[in-house]
Structure 1
Amino acid sequence: MSETSKNNINPILASVIQRRLNAVTLDMAKVLQQTSRSPVFNEAGDFVTGLFDHQTRMMEQSANIPIIGFGAQPALPYIMESFKDNLYPGDVIVHNDVYEGGNQTHDVGIYKPVFFQDELVGWTVSKGHLSDLGGATPGGYNPQHTDTWQEAIRIPGLKIVKKGKIIQDVWKMLFANTRVKIVEEDVKAMIGACNIGERGLLNIIEKYGLETFRSHLDYIIEATEKQTREIVRKWKPGTYYGESYMVSDGVDPLRKYKVAVKITIDDGKVKMDFTGTDKQAPGFTNMPPAGAKAACAIAYLMLINPGMEIASNEGLFSSLECYFPKGSILNPNFPAATIVGNQIADVLLEAIMMAFKEAVPDQVTAGWCKACPPVFSGTDPRKNEPYFDFGFMAKSGQGALKGFDGFNGIGFAGAAGCMRSQDPEMLEIKDPFFMEAYEYLPDSAGVGKYRGGYGTYVKMRIDGENNSVGTLGDGMQYEGAELPQGLFGGGRGTSNNYILHFPDGSSQKVGSKDMVFQVPQGSWLEMYSGGGGGYGSPLLRDPQKVQEEVLAGLLSIEKAMQEYGVAIDAATGHVDLEATEKLRKQMSA
């Protein structure tokens, strides 16, 4: 920004514009959530809405699902290049190609250019997970898939609306490649959200003028960058190393893949170098670079924004540089399958936090239990129609951090706690399921002065026909997954354990990246989701908090004594303070 422009900046007006941009993205999100048909959108909130300028810089975005949100921008330069001489007011472009900036084939972006007085001034974007986009398997999740064409129809950028009118032949072709009718309706809702965003953005520009708007936007982005760099400059400079492991690639359930990161902190800048990460997998567990960078952004945001308010724009991550070696599981060679790549965010988050623990020990979180949401497909006999859905209710626990216990049943780290669970009754209405149990899992939290979050226990009956049950996560016990790491004396968390019970009395363990076909009607799925790691010595935990969790049924008396050194009377539920002090002294010695 020139000195002349800086002299004309009104900081109060800049704050007003930033708030209005944020309000527009929230309006977009509300419209999308309330008009969409899929529970993936209207219950789980698996989408994001955002505004980008004519240079593809992020102006603002809603904080729904970060792994999608921070994965929305990378596709824009490809779209701009493809349509640079063919963009008009009212156009709408759909995109999902992971080899041209997408983060997952089923995380589909709707991009609408915004014009003011015939000049391109920005883009409105809505991006979310669509239930089905063709491919060999409903929903796209199948560990037998080895290339991107098997997972979904590949859309490197396709104009579906031109000058405000649907291009009928293109529209029909696109939705002929989905098995689920609500996908078309969800895309209409996404377009509607972009229309709301366009209207809101133009209202701001019309009120303040394009020149004033752009100069103040530059100021807002520069201020966010300055704020971020000032935080990073307080971190201990140096180079740090962390690693974590993904277990199972869908082909070999016992194979481990290392995610290694070397982090360098220097003068307000952070570089994350993932050299040393294992090579790409033969199955569907590779992560496109757009998704990997989004996962890094999530971890970074957790560290720079602990309770502070920072605007969500391009300046937020200008101090962060990421490198993902070509041919690795974080940057696979074309045409590798990638649909479970989002779930590797859990692994990246743990590796990054383990690297940062020396530089910013007061802000890092212990390991989260890696999430493992199930996926279901089949025929609903009540409607004689196909169904497809996720089991977002299978929620693992967050790792603890200094001063705070981990959240219970928070689930996928890539969603940063923003992905909601389906309402059990609504799930039963929509799909052929019966929910018998949905509760916290006792003794699942990693111990510590601040304990990890508890996992969950879910038991559900599958009443559909021709059912398939799959999983797309990590941290499964019988595959030998490493337990979530604790920090500074905190204990490790626990792992996941999923079991299918069939009507004939037999049962089968389900892997973390598995697909079980022809599951009989009336089968039961039990899901034990693990808890996060603890922070600090468990012998320093407040005995009153230990007692409260014992009385709530979350913690057993045995674990309270063995791990926390807290003696609780089984009859009264009261803490024996004298016995506790004696026991803790013995354990410390």
Structure 2
Amino acid sequence: MTREIDPITLEIIRNQLEGIAEEMGSVLIRSAYSPNIKERQDCSTALFDHTTAKPRMIAQAEHIPVHLGAMPAAVAAVVAKDPHPGDVWVLNDPFTGGTHLPDVTMVSPIAPDGEIIGYGVSRAHHGDIGGMTPGSMPAGAREIYQEGLRLPPVPIVTGGEINQHVLSILLANVRNTTERRADIQAQIAANTRAADRLKELQAEYGSELLPDAFDAVIDYSETRMRSEIASLPDGTYHATDYLEGDGITTDNITIAAAVTVQGETLAVDFSGTDAQVAGNTNAPRAVTESAVYFVVRAVTNPDIPPNEGCYAPIDISVPTGSLLDPTAPAAVVGGNVETSQRVTDVVLSAFAEALPESIPAQSQGTMNNLIIGSRESSGFTYYETIGGGFGGRPTADGLDGVQVGMTNTKNTPIEAVEVEYPMRVERYCLRPNSGGAGMYRGGMGIERSITISVPATVSVLSERRIIGPRGVAGGRDGAVGENLLDNEQVPGKFTRDVPAETTVTIRTPGGGGYGDPKARDLDAAAADWLDKLVTTDKDT
């Protein structure tokens, strides 16, 4: 029987749980070796309970949406293997709880008194996980085996001791083993911190009250989410958008969604979405679900504490064997980073039918993944997602040069790039004229140019190079992005070996504009001219 917990105590416990998740993230970031984690903070942490048949997220750090919404599948996959206290389980297999292979997840049972009460979970994008190209994100992959080492749930720590057999297999299949080993140890340290803090919490509140607090925290979020959904207009709302090819062809790939609001529940149906494709833009179901959860939180109330309760009123239907729920051995590395962004766009567009005065114009809709690496055994791997324009909003301009949608990483500072890698940054600036004109203009994209001092392999996975982010309510579309090698335009998705002193330039899309450009405030337009964000009057 669940006991009643007074609201003040419950709020204190909820904040303590979120504090544990945030502290896990701090340990991971401060302990990691790779710039991708310590600088870009491409990682996420969370806590799950073990008081019901299904492990439930009870708290998360404010990290990466595509990581966090997909975590429940990973924890469920580990729990099915009957983990024991003192273990740490590792996985990255997209078909058993992972997202894409570079995202390595670790799950640790927490048992203060010998009985498991929860799990500490960390997920981090590793700079390399093997496969056919440095950085493990090849544009032309046709099956998952080409993308890297595939790990189903296995214990990397058993009874408190690192399983050297598992670790040796992992390190034998990746590039830059020193960096990989250190990042693995950082994740283990983060999970250890979760165990320490949750044990302290149980000592403070007792083994009987804490599980009841888990239930109450989840129930609170569910109650608030149901109330928010109930405030939306009932009905079914449709939207369709497209990916610009799968890395094998440039044929458009359809993503269709129908969002049905009925009372305090919400259903999203992806019937009409294309079948899984030959290339790597297939998105595992957990990634698809993560994108839906992100959008629902964004259009309701992002202040609702994020946990299992937020997702309980949401039903998601995805055709098996489709782009958004592929079957093995489909390639998926681009699905996590690019298809997730388009799912976000499609579901937001469907909500725009219900909430036309609340949803912004489309943002850049891509992560602009840039991967540069050496094929030498002692070489390097650099990974970056590059921000772009946020869509014009109903009451304000879009933000310039920001990460949008399913990613929330920082950039790698120029100083860090030039210290850590044989590369130099030639240009890093906002991209004038890239935001769609409107009463509220779209945010500007970014231009980032890097010269590589040694022979290397360059991979780019990007979108919105053909179809720009849509403006709404009379606003203009945002500018499409561009990729260049030594000033020659190249496709949105490619992998190439390049000689030393090659310059790679990524120009990211701008956001769409909101409203009629003729209604734009004259002072705002003048400020854009003075800031050199707008240098042409073709769209004003």
Q: What is the DSSP-based 3-state SS (H/G/I as helix, E as strand, rest coil) of the residue aligned with 2:236?
A: strand
Matches within 5 A, 1:391-430: 391-392=384-385, 394-415=386-407, 418-430=408-420
Q: Is residue 540 from structure 1 mapped to residue 516 from structure 2 by the alignment?
A: no
Aligned mate of 2:269, from 266, 270, 273: 273
Q: Do the aligned residues in 2 keep the contact of 1:56 with 1:77 (CA within 8 Å)?
A: yes
Aligned mate of 2:457, from 449, 460, 468: 468
Partners in 1 of 2:211 and 2:454 — Cα distance? Answer: 54
Matches within 5 A, 1:164-563: 164-181=160-177, 182-252=179-249, 254-305=250-301, 309-342=303-336, 343-371=338-366, 372-378=368-374, 385-392=378-385, 394-415=386-407, 418-465=408-455, 467-476=456-465, 481-501=466-486, 508-517=488-497, 519-556=498-535, 558-559=536-537, 562-563=538-539
Partners in 1 of 2:132 and 2:539 — Cα distance? Answer: 49
Partners in 2 of 1:391 and 1:122 — Cα distance? Answer: 33
Displacement, 1:525? 1.6
Q: What is the DSSP-based 3-state SS (H/G/I as helix, E as strand, rest coil) of the residue aligned with 1:291?
A: helix
Q: Do the aligned residues in 2 keep the contact of 1:283 with 1:337 (CA within 8 Å)?
A: yes
Partners in 2 of 1:26 and 1:221 — Cα distance? Answer: 18
AA aligned opposite 1:370:
G
Displacement, 1:395? 2.3
Q: What is the DSSP-based 3-state SS (H/G/I as helix, E as strand, rest coil) of the residue aligned with 2:135?
A: helix
Which structure 1 segments of 5+ residues have no match?
A: 502-506, 565-589
Partners in 1 of 2:180 and 2:453 — Cα distance? Answer: 23
Bigger Cα Rg: 1
Partners in 1 of 2:394 and 2:136 — Cα distance? Answer: 40
Displacement, 1:140? 1.7
Post-superposition Cα deviations, 1:297-339, rounded to whole Å, max 9, x if no partner, equal 111121112xx52111111111211111111111112111101
AA aligned opposite 1:484:
P
AA aligned opposite 1:330:
L
AA aligned opposite 2:467:
E
Q: Do the aligned residues in 1 keep the contact of 2:482 with 2:492 (CA within 8 Å)?
A: no
Task: Quickly say closer, same or farther: Cα 1:362–1:229, change in 2 above 3 A.
Answer: farther
Post-superposition Cα deviations, 1:6-44, rounded to whole Å, max 9, x if no partner, equal 5x3211111010000011111111111111011111111
Q: What is the DSSP-based 3-state SS (H/G/I as helix, E as strand, rest coil) of the residue aligned with 1:261?
A: strand
Identity %: 29
Q: Do the aligned residues in 2 keep the contact of 1:92 with 1:191 (CA within 8 Å)?
A: yes
Aligned mate of 1:134, from 121, 130, 133: 130
Q: Do the aligned residues in 2 keep the contact of 1:243 with 1:350 (CA within 8 Å)?
A: no
Post-superposition Cα deviations, 1:18-76, rounded to whole Å, max 9, x if no partner, equal 00001111111111111101111111111100000014100101111110111111111
Q: What is the DSSP-based 3-state SS (H/G/I as helix, E as strand, rest coil) of the residue aligned with 1:139?
A: coil
AA aligned opposite 2:442:
G
Displacement, 1:379? 6.1
Q: What is the DSSP-based 3-state SS (H/G/I as helix, E as strand, rest coil) of the residue aligned with 2:267?
A: strand
Structure 2 match to 1:572: none
Post-superposition Cα deviations, 1:169-199, rounded to whole Å, max 9, x if no partner, equal 2221221111112011101000100111111
Structure 2 match to 1:579: none
Displacement, 1:509? 2.1
Partners in 2 of 1:425 and 1:542 — Cα distance? Answer: 38
Aligned mate of 1:47, from 20, 39, 43: 43
AA aligned opposite 1:409:
G
Partners in 1 of 2:317 and 2:142 — Cα distance? Answer: 25
Partners in 2 of 1:14 and 1:391 — Cα distance? Answer: 40
Post-superposition Cα deviations, 1:359-384, rounded to whole Å, max 9, x if no partner, equal 1223322111232221111168xxx9
Partners in 1 of 2:91 and 2:339 — Cα distance? Answer: 22
Partners in 2 of 1:451 and 1:270 — Cα distance? Answer: 31
Q: Do the aligned residues in 2 keep the contact of 1:499 with 1:527 (CA within 8 Å)?
A: yes
AA aligned opposite 1:260:
A
Structure 2 match to 1:504: none
Post-superposition Cα deviations, 1:425-484, rounded to whole Å, max 9, x if no partner, equal 11011111111111101110012222111001122211122x1111112111xxxx2111
Q: Do the aligned residues in 1 keep the contact of 2:139 with 2:461 (CA within 8 Å)?
A: no
Which structure 2 segments of 5+ residues have no match?
A: none
Partners in 2 of 1:277 and 1:386 — Cα distance? Answer: 40
AA aligned opposite 1:387:
F
Matches within 5 A, 1:30-109: 30-54=26-50, 55-82=54-81, 84=82, 87-109=83-105
Displacement, 1:214? 1.3
Q: Do the aligned residues in 2 keep the contact of 1:274 with 1:325 (CA within 8 Å)?
A: yes
Q: Say which is worse superposed, 352-361 or 190-199, in terms of deviation.
A: 352-361
AA aligned opposite 2:62:
A
Post-superposition Cα deviations, 1:368-417, rounded to whole Å, max 9, x if no partner, equal 1232221111168xxx931111233x3221112222322211135211xx
Structure 2 match to 1:580: none
AA aligned opposite 2:268:
M
Post-superposition Cα deviations, 1:559-583, rounded to whole Å, max 9, x if no partner, equal 2xx534xxxxxxxxxxxxxxxxxxx
Q: Do the aligned residues in 2 keep the contact of 1:47 with 1:128 (CA within 8 Å)?
A: yes
AA aligned opposite 1:365:
P
Provide runs of 4+ in structure 1 moved above 6 Å: none
Q: What is the DSSP-based 3-state SS (H/G/I as helix, E as strand, rest coil) of the residue aligned with 2:493?
A: coil
Q: Do the aligned residues in 1 keep the contact of 2:254 with 2:274 (CA within 8 Å)?
A: yes
AA aligned opposite 2:364:
C
AA aligned opposite 1:526:
T
Q: Do the aligned residues in 2 keep the contact of 1:370 with 1:473 (CA within 8 Å)?
A: no
The alignment's TM-score, normalised by the length of structure 2, stands at 0.96
Q: Do the aligned residues in 2 keep the contact of 1:346 with 1:368 (CA within 8 Å)?
A: no
Q: How many residue pairs end up in the alignment?
A: 534
Task: Quickly say closer, same or farther: Cα 1:48–1:246, change in 2 above 3 A.
Answer: same
Aligned mate of 2:20, from 15, 19, 24: 24
